Amino acid sequence: MCRTSIPRVGPTFRPLPPGAFVTGPASTPHDARRRLLVPVLGSCGIVAALMQTVVVPLLPDLPALTGSSASTVSWTLTATLLSGAVCTPLLGRAGDMFGKKRMLVLAMVVLSIGSLMCALTSDIAVLIVGRTLQGMATAVVPLGISILRDELPPAKVGGGVAMMSSTLGIGAAVGLPLAGLVVDHADWHMMFWAATALALVVLTLVVLVVRESPVRTPGRFDVIGSLGLAAFLVCLLLAVSKGAAWGWGSARTTGLIGAAAAILLGWCRHQWRARTPLVDLRVTTRPAVLLPNIAALFIGFSFYANSLSTAQLVQTPEASGYGLGLSVAAGGLCLLPGGVMMVVLSPLSTRLTATRGPRFCLGLGAVLLGLGYVVRIFTSHDLWTVIAGATVVASGTAMCYSALPMLVIRAVPAAQTAAANGINALMRTIGQAVCSAVVAAVLTTYTISAAGRELPALHAYMVVFVIAGAVAGCALIACLCIPDPVGPTAVPIPAPATPADSRPLAPRPDPTGRT
C-alpha cells in the first residue's frame, strides 16, 4: 500500500528541556509598569527625604521672616521628625492590612497638602502644621519596599530595595544644596511651591504606575497599640530633641522620659496579649529582626552626624581659624557628591548582597562609615578633604541602607513586610533624633569667640566625628551578631538575572498528540 505524505500545516511544537527559559513578549502593560515601578517609588522616597532637610537653610532667617522666636522656629524641624516617626510604623501596618498603594497615595496626598500650606503662609503656626503633614510622607519608604517585594521578580527585588532604601540618604544630600540655592536667589516660599509641584507629579505617577498589592494581613487594626506607640514616640523624641534647650535635668525633660518609659512598658504588655498587634513582638524580638533594628539605630545616628556637621563646618567664618566661610548653598553642595555616590553604589550593594549576603554588605558599610570619620578627624581643614571624608561616610551609609531592608525582608513573613520595615525605618529616625541632640550638645559645649560671636571650636567637630565613628563600630558589632535566618520566614536572595524578563515557559502540547 502506498502511503501519501500529507504535509503538516502550522508550526511544530517541541517540548523545552527542563529549566529552559525564553523571553516573553516584547512589551506588555504589566512589563511596562514593572519597569517603571522602581523609578516611581524611588521618586517618592527622594521627595519625602527632601522634606526632612529642605527647611534647614531657612532656620537662621525664619524668626525674622515669620516674626517668631528661634525656639518656636525650631518646631518646624521637630514637628516633621515627630510626625514621621509616629506615622511610619502606623502606615506600614495599615498598608499590610488595607493596601500598600492606598497608604502610599494617602501619604503623598498629605505631603502635597502640607507643602501647599507652607507655600501659602508666613504664619509660624500654619507653617508648623504644614511641616507636620510633610513629615507623614516618611512612611513611603517602607511602603515602597514592601510593594517591590510583592511585585518584582525575586531576582530584581534586591536591586529595587537597595535603590528605595538609599533614597533616604539621596534626598537628604540633595535637599540641602537645592534649598540653599533657593534661599540665596529667590523668595523662600518658592521652595515650598516647588515641593508642592514635585509632590503632585510623583503622586500622579504613583496612581498611574503602581498597582495595589494583593498581599494582605487579615485582622483588625490595633487602635490602642497605635495610640500607645504614638504617645511613647512623642514623649521620647520631644525629650531628646528639646532636652538641650529645656535642660536635661529640667522637670519637663525628665518627666517626658519617665512617661515614655512607663508608656513603653504598658504598650509592650498590650502587644504581647493583643490578638492582632500593631507590632508582632514575637517576630520583632527574634535576633534576626532585632539586631538589624539595633544596627539601623546606630547607622541612623552615624550618618546624620555627617549631614549636621559638614555644612556647618564649612560655613564657619574664616576668623575662627578653621572655617572656610562658604555660603549656605555652597555648604550644601559639599554633601552632593555623597548623594551621587549613594546612587552609584546601589547596584554594587545589590550584587554584594546577592553574592555575599546582606550581613556582609552591612558590615562592609559600617566599616566604611567608621573609616570616613577617621578621614574627617585628620582632614577637616581643606575643602576637598572635607568633601572626600563626607563622601566616604555617604558611601558606607549607602551600603548599610541597601542591606538593612533585605535583612528584615528575609526574616519576616511577606504579609508583615511593610510593618517590619516601618519599624526599621523608625529606628533610623530615633537614631537621627538622638544624634541631633548629641551634636547640638557637643557644639555648644566646646566654643570659641570669633567674628564677634560664639562659634563651635574645631575640637567640638573632632569630638562629634569620634562619637559617630564609635557608633559605626557599634553597628558593626550588631551586624556580626546577626544570625542566618532559619525556618519558613527565611527568604532566599537570588542573584540578579541577566535577561530582563526571563520567565519559565511550560511546554506546549504537540498538535499531533505526540510529546
Give the closest residue to 139 by CA, choosing from 80, 186, 215: 80
Q: What gap in Å lies between CA 414 and CA 269, rounded to an integer?
A: 25
Task: Over range 61-66, report the average pLDDT.
Answer: 83
Q: Is residue 499 part of a domain?
A: no
pLDDT value for 451: 65
Assess whether 318 and 386 both reside in one domain: yes
Question: Do 488 and 393 share a structural domain?
Answer: yes
Say if residue 308 is in the same domain as residue 196: yes
Q: Report the mean per-residue pLDDT for the chain.
A: 80
Same domain, 353 and 232: no
Helix-, strand-, coil-residue percentages of the chain, each rounded to 5:
75, 5, 25
Same domain, residue pair 430 and 451: yes
Q: Does 12 map to a domain?
A: no
Phi, psi of 72 (to 5 degrees): -70, -40
Say how far apart CA 429 and CA 297 lie, in whole Å. 8
Label residue 474 by pLDDT band (50, 70, 90): very high
Q: Which pairs from 66-70 meet CB under 8 Å and 24+ separation?
A: 66/122, 66/123, 66/124, 66/127, 67/124, 68/124
Q: What is the CATH number of the domain that holds 475?
A: 1.20.1250.20
What was the pLDDT predicted at 383? 84
- 317 and 243 part of one domain: no
- Which pLDDT score, from 0 to 100, does residue 299 have? 94
Higher-confidence residue of 29 and 296: namely 296
User: Which domain does 344 fall in, by range?
Assistant: 30-221+276-494
pLDDT of res. 506: 41
Helix (H, G, I), strand (E, B) or coil at 443: helix
Q: Is residue 509 part of a domain?
A: no
Same-domain check for residues 412 and 268: no
At 213-225, the pLDDT tens digits run 777 776 678 889 8
Q: What is the pLDDT of residue 111?
A: 94
pLDDT level of residue 444 (50, 70, 90 thresholds): confident
Indicate whether 262 and 383 sit together in one domain.
no
Cα-Cα-Cα-Cα dihedral sign, residues 55, 59, 65, 66: positive
Q: Could you tell me if 254 and 295 lie in one domain?
A: no
**Domains: count for the chain:** 2
Question: Burial level of 205, CB count in 10 A (0-12/13-18/19+)?
Answer: middle
| Domain-located, residue 24 | no
Lowest mean pLDDT, pick from 8-12, 234-238, 261-265, 282-286: 8-12
Is the domain of 250 the same as that of 282? no
Say which residue, 320 or 128, is predicted with more confidence.
Answer: 128
Whether residue 7 lies inside any domain: the answer is no
**Residue 2 belongs to a domain:** no
Q: What DSSP line would sit under 5-70, residue for residue?
A: PPPPPSPPP-PPPTT-EEE--S--HHHHHHHHHHHHHHHHHHHHHHHHHTTGGGTTTHHHHHT--H
Tens of pLDDT, residue by residue over 228-268, are 988 998 898 888 878 877 888 889 999 999 999 999 999 99
Q: Are 192 and 134 in contact (CB under 8 A)?
A: no
**Domain end among 212, 246, 275:** 275
Distance (Å, rounded) from C-alpha 379 to C-alpha 372? 10
pLDDT of residue 508: 39
Q: What cell does 184 get?
A: 540665596
Confidence class of residue 29 from pLDDT cuts 50, 70 and 90? low
pLDDT band at 448 (very low <50, low <70, confident <90, very high): confident
- Tens digit of each residue's pLDDT (9 = 90 or more) over 96-129: 888 889 999 999 999 999 999 999 998 999 999 9
Last residue of a domain, one of 275, 294, 310: 275
Query: Residues near 275 by Cβ (< 8 Å), separated by ≥ 6?
Result: 219, 220
Domain presence at residue 6? no
Domain identity same for 137 and 159: yes
| Confidence band for 465, pLDDT divided at 50, 70 and 90 | very high
What is the pLDDT averaged over residues 366-394?
87
**Are 235 and 165 in the same domain?**
no
In the predicted model, what is the mean pLDDT of residues 429-443? 84
Q: Do residues 409 and 423 lie in contact, with contact meaning Cβ atoms separated by under 8 Å?
A: no
Residue 421, domain member (yes or no): yes
120-174 pLDDT tens trace:
998 999 999 999 999 888 888 888 888 888 888 887 877 788 778 777 767 776 7
